[in-house]
Amino acid sequence: MSPLSQILPVDIARNLQHISVVGQLNRTSLPYIAEMGSLRSCVLPLTGTRLMEIFEALPLLERICITIVPTGDILQKDRKGSEADIKALLGLKHLTHLAGVLTRTEVTEHAGQTLLTRLANGIPTLKYVELTYRGRSPTWVTIIRTNDLRYDNFEITQKEYEVDHRYWGNFYWGINRYVKEPKY
């Protein structure tokens, strides 16, 4: 049984549109989160190895923020599973806001620009991305598109408070602050 399911009844979980979790989720929470079919935005503390699983479990997400990614971001080619994570992320066809996943990706470098272009072209709804810009991390950028919705460029988001994950939903914020992985 998931520790998250011990404090959040499944009937409520299935109807949530936003959740922000403080602390750490263990692997037993992922199937429970996948039950949240109405979820449109979430702030989740996950490790890099779980990114693909959460992206695939919640294909209707519009906003996602991963608050713990020990490896820094999904760009690191030496991290096992990074390409699978990117492909799963590209499956989020309703995504408008992406935070926490690319906070160490320097967008002014070739690799960062290539990844941003790939994500923007693969997810036509993507509008805001949190990443590093000229050493300033995290920075929200707004994606600029051509008339046919292809990636053209980006600009620094002027009103970051309008897109910052701390202001998404605000319902059940910190619900499982005290839930930790069981010790046996």
Residue among 89, 110, 114 nearest 100 (CA): 89
Q: Output the pLDDT for position 81.
A: 58
Q: Are 65 and 99 in contact (CB under 8 A)?
A: yes
Indicate if the pLDDT at residue 114 is higher than 70.
yes
Out of 3.80.10, 3.90.660, 3.40.50, 3.30.70, which CATH number does the structure's domain 3-167 have? 3.80.10
pLDDT top residue among 78 and 132:
132
3-state secondary structure of 141: strand
Domain boundaries along the sequence of the chain: 3-167
What's the confidence (pLDDT) of residue 28? Answer: 74
Question: What is the mean pLDDT of the segment spanning 69-90?
Answer: 66
Q: What is the pLDDT of residue 184?
A: 35
Which tokens hold the place of 30?
């992922």
Alpha carbons 37 and 61: distance in angstroms, whole number: 9
Residue pLDDT, tens place only, 119-176:
999 999 999 999 888 877 788 999 999 999 999 999 999 887 778 887 787 554 455 4
Phi, psi of 94 (to 5 degrees): -110, 0
Q: What is the pLDDT of residue 70?
A: 54
Cis, bond preceding 31 (omega within 30 deg of 0) = no
Of the listed ranges 29-43, 67-81, 107-121, 141-155, the one predicted with least confidence:
67-81
**Average pLDDT over the chain, rounded to whole?**
80
In this prediction, residue 80 carries a pLDDT of 57
